[in-house]
């Protein structure tokens, strides 16, 4: 009985630790609002440049705020930064800047 109680306690603690760890990794709504707005600014900049516009495909280049916002809510802060940097790098490459 004591072993079963210890095992149950260990499982509960592990589950609560893992759920807290997952929540800590997700980006905050306020951050995601700013992230999505910045993503839309990048998308608009790309669409305004004929050298870039034809290559803007996929969710990364969506003109829908909700696509960027919802993705961000499930992403880590680092993943959001990586995605932003990927857009920046692409825009630099097609604009020659």
pLDDT by residue for the chain (97 residues), tens only, comes to 554 434 334 443 343 333 444 444 688 999 999 999 999 999 999 999 999 999 999 999 999 999 999 999 999 999 999 999 999 999 999 988 7
Angle between helices 29-48 and 65-73 (to 10 degrees): 140
The pair of structure tokens assigned to 2 is 């004591």
| Residue of 44, 51, 23, 39 lying closest to 80 (CA atoms) | 39
Assessment of whether the complete model's pTM goes beyond 0.75? no
Give the CA angle between residues 79, 57, 74 to the nearest 5°.
25
Instruction: Give the C-alpha separation, 62 to 68, whole Å.
Output: 8
């Amino acid at each position: 009985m004591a072993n079963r109680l210890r095992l149950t306690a260990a499982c509960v603690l592990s589950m609560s630790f893992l759920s807290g760890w997952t929540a800590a990794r997700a980006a905050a709504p306020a951050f995601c609002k700013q992230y999505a707005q910045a993503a839309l600014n990048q998308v608009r900049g790309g669409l305004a440049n004929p050298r870039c516009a034809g290559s803007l495909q996929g969710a990364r280049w969506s003109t829908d705020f909700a696509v960027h916002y919802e993705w961000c809510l499930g992403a880590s802060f680092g993943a959001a930064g990586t995605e932003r940097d990927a857009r920046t790098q692409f825009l630099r490459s097609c604009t020659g800047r």
